[in-house]
RNA sequence: UCCCCGGUAGCUCAGUCGGCAGAGCGGGUGGCUGUUAACCACCAUGUCGGCGGUUCGAAUCCGUCCCGGGGAGCCA
């Protein structure tokens, strides 16, 4: 109990111990995170984590630990430690949780440059026959073991970049004076009336999982001027491609008095900021993922801005077959992205392929004042947005044309009855953005627990 | 929903012409004082995705269903 109390009192300004330290392990030093190990060179430290790797050579034993902040190699010789400490290694296996005390020393033979000369070792939780071995595995197997796969280096790198992307998005929008105002996830009806929604019971009624915060954003934008919502979004489409998830995260800024050029500038500025922030703060993670960072370093505003008409020309010259009036498929987006080394903003699509609330170009009623951002290297559309129709009459006409029920949009039409203004916004898909920045081919690794067609486990 | 590919040990896979079910890794036991996905020796492990058919004989050929992967459509 003495050791336990000592740790408890010392750890007031450090990480508290997550497990009770038994009396036989006389831990009297503060727990540290591996990331900070260089600051403790020459000193004794207390580290808790999981076994990534272990090797024994009879009288010398090696242990590689992960605590979530980094990796460190631990060493002990048979003649350097008490017999019970040396023997504790016998219970060590892949992904067993352990706590150790040792002396930090610089050693070029250790990955990371520092190693821990062990004084104490205790197995906190054993790990029998950990399923994921250090050898190669297939995607199907790893997805079944996703809860364990998350412990691997590659997944750490991926999800740290994701976290940095999300921080960068919030930092940028907050800095532009956008207020985070989230939209509901349970909605009474289809927002855009286009994609298939997940339906669920809402007591005696039906409800749907949100496919976009767009319509609610328009209400909050009229209340606060500049807003964004950031949360999960659901699409019940039976999509089975590397770019699709049933549940994904989307940030959607919306601003009153914003025009199409301003909307494009906002999207461009945000994407530039996010990419540069990841480059500045996640170099090691990008290296782990073997990302060619020169392709990211050139992501600086301004991005090319082309009309849909021009995009069709580029696609045709590149060998694509597309008729004016059709939306772009994956192949067309890839051809288009290959013509540029930056994200490309494509504006003024044919109105027929866009949502009902998109504003028509007054000079060309057949096109909408909208914009998509196509990521480089074939990662597809990462942003979709544009100007919203602010005229009550025009919007009512659009709703009727799309065969949507006017009464369910009463509140949405109210926004045009009471002080309507020109406004615009967009949605950016987090997973596609992370896939592009990390350079991985499939979005499923960019979210901790992907929801795919026919895959809901774990 | 449609098209293509696949399913053999815990994992990754090989299995020839239809003729004894295999390797590496992982696991177990033992050895080794500087290992880096350590190494060496030995040991254990199978509803060959399910069902039906052809055959003296099927992992192998045929039918069907299930599951997984890739792609299309739709979208972020």
Residue nearest to nucleotide B30 (CA to C1'): A58
pLDDT, residue A13, reads 34
A212: the nucleotide nearest its CA (via C1') is B76
A235: the nucleotide nearest its CA (via C1') is B75
CA to C1' distance (Å), from A111 to B39: 20
CA to C1' distance (Å), from A416 to B36: 66
Contacts 24+ apart (CB under 8 A), A152-158: A153/A288, A154/A288, A154/A289, A154/A445, A155/A445, A156/A68, A156/A285, A156/A288, A157/A282, A157/A284, A157/A285, A157/A286, A157/A288, A157/A289, A157/A438, A158/A285, A158/A289, A158/A434, A158/A438, A158/A440, A158/A445, A158/A446
Residue nearest to nucleotide B1 (CA to C1'): A238
Stretch A6-12: mean pLDDT: 32
CA to C1' distance (Å), from A101 to B64: 61
Q: With bands split at pLDDT 50, 70 and 90, how would you rate the model's confidence at A12? A: very low
Strand B bases contacted by the protein (CB, 7 Å): 1-2, 10-13, 24-28, 31-39, 67-76
**Alpha carbon distance A14, A37 (integer Å):** 14
A52: the nucleotide nearest its CA (via C1') is B37
User: If you count them, how many residues does chain A have?
Assistant: 458
Residue nearest to nucleotide B7 (CA to C1'): A140
- Residues A57-68 have pLDDT tens digits of 888 999 999 999
pLDDT, residue A10, reads 30
CA to C1' distance (Å), from A221 to B8: 60
CA to C1' distance (Å), from A109 to B35: 9
- Residues A221-243 have pLDDT tens digits of 999 999 999 999 998 888 888 88
A54: the nucleotide nearest its CA (via C1') is B35
CA to C1' distance (Å), from A134 to B40: 20
Lowest mean pLDDT among A143-147, A207-211, A451-455: A451-455
- Residues A351-379 have pLDDT tens digits of 988 888 999 999 999 999 999 999 998 89
A384: the nucleotide nearest its CA (via C1') is B76
Q: With bands split at pLDDT 50, 70 and 90, how would you rate the model's confidence at A101? A: very high
CA to C1' distance (Å), from A240 to B9: 31
CA to C1' distance (Å), from A159 to B72: 29
CA to C1' distance (Å), from A238 to B74: 8
Three-state SS letters, chain A: CHHHHHHHHHHHHCCCCCCCCCCCCCCCCCECCHHHHHHHCCCEEEEEEEEEEEEECCCEEEEEEECCCCEEEEEEECCCCCHHHHHHHHHCCCCCEEEEEEEEEECCCCCCCEEEEEEEEEEEECCCCCCCCCCCCCHHHHHHCHHHHCCCHHHHHHHHHHHHHHHHHHHHHHHCCCEECCCCCEECCCCCCCCCCCEEEECCEEEEECCCCHHHHHHHHHHHCEEEEEEEEECCCCCCCCCCCCEEEEEEEEEECCCHHHHHHHHHHHHHHHHHHHHHHCHHHHHHCCCCCHHHHCCCCCCCEEEHHHHHHHHHHCCCCCCCCCCCCHHHHHHHHCCCCCCEEEECCEHHHCCCCECEECCEEEEECEEEEEEHHHCEEEEEEEEECCCHHHHHHHHHHCCCCHHHHHHHHHHHHCCCCCEEEEEEEHHHHHHHHHCCCCHHHHCCCCCECCECCC
A432: the nucleotide nearest its CA (via C1') is B76
Q: The pTM is what? A: 0.91
Q: With bands split at pLDDT 50, 70 and 90, how would you rate the model's confidence at A192? A: low
CA to C1' distance (Å), from A289 to B10: 27
A243: the nucleotide nearest its CA (via C1') is B76
Q: With bands split at pLDDT 50, 70 and 90, how would you rate the model's confidence at A196? A: confident
Chain-centroid distance of CA A234 in Å reads 15
pLDDT, residue A35, reads 93
The partner residues of A256 in beta bridges, in order of sequence, read A423
**Alpha carbon distance A91, A124 (integer Å):** 10
ipTM of this model? 0.87
User: A346 is written with which tokens?
Assistant: 């494509």
- Residues A295-350 have pLDDT tens digits of 999 999 999 999 999 999 999 988 888 889 988 988 899 999 989 999 999 999 99
Q: With bands split at pLDDT 50, 70 and 90, how would you rate the model's confidence at A28? A: low
- Residues A77-86 have pLDDT tens digits of 998 898 888 9
A453: the nucleotide nearest its CA (via C1') is B68
């Amino acid at each position: 109990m003495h050791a336990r109390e000592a740790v408890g009192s010392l750890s007031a300004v450090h990480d508290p111990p997550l497990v009770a330290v038994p009396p036989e392990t006389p831990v009297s030093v503060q727990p540290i995170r591996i990331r900070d190990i260089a600051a403790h060179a020459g000193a004794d430290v207390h580290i808790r984590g999981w076994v990534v790797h272990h090797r024994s050579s009879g009288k010398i034993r090696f242990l590689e630990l992960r605590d979530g902040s980094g990796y460190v190699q631990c060493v002990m010789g048979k003649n350097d430690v008490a017999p019970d400490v040396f023997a504790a290694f016998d219970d060590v296996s892949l992904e067993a949780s352990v706590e150790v005390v040792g002396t930090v020393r610089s050693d070029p033979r250790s990955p990371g440059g520092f190693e821990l000369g062990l004084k104490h070792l205790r197995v906190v939780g054993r790990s029998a026959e950990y399923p994921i071995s250090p050898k190669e595995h297939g995607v199907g197997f790893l997805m079944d073991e996703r809860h364990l796969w998350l412990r691997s280096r590659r997944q750490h790198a991926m999800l740290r970049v994701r976290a940095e992307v999300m921080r960068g998005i919030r930092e940028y929008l907050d800095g532009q004076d956008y207020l985070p105002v989230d939209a509901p996830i349970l909605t009474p009806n289809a927002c855009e009336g286009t994609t298939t929604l997940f339906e669920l019971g809402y007591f005696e009624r039906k409800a749907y999982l949100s496919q976009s915060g767009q319509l609610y954003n328009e209400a909050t934008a009229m209340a606060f001027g500049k807003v964004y919502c950031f949360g999960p979004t659901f699409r019940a489409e039976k999509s089975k491609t590397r770019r699709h998830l049933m549940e994904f995260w989307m940030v959607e800024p919306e601003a009153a008095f914003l025009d199409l050029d301003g909307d494009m500038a906002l999207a461009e500025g945000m994407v530039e900021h996010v990419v540069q922030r990841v480059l500045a703060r996640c170099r090691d993670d990008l290296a782990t993922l073997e990302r060619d960072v020169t392709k990211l370093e050139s992501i600086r505003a301004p991005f090319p801005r082309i009309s849909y008409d021009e995009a069709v020309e580029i696609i045709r010259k590149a060998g694509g077959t597309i008729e004016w009036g059709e939306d772009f498929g994956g192949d067309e987006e890839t051809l288009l992205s290959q013509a540029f080394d930056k994200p490309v903003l494509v504006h003024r699509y044919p109105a027929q392929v866009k949502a009902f609330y998109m504003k028509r170009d007054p000079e060309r009623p057949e096109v909408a004042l909208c914009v998509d951002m196509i990521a480089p290297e074939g990662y597809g559309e990462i942003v979709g947005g544009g100007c919203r129709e602010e005229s009550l009459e025009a919007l009512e006409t659009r709703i009727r044309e799309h065969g949507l029920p006017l009464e369910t949009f009463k509140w949405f039409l109210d926004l045009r009855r009471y002080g309507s203004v020109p406004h615009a916004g967009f949605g950016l898909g987090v997973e596609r953005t992370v896939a592009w920045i990390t350079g991985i081919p499939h979005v499923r690794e960019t979210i901790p627990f992907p929801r795919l067609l026919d895959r809901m486990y774990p």
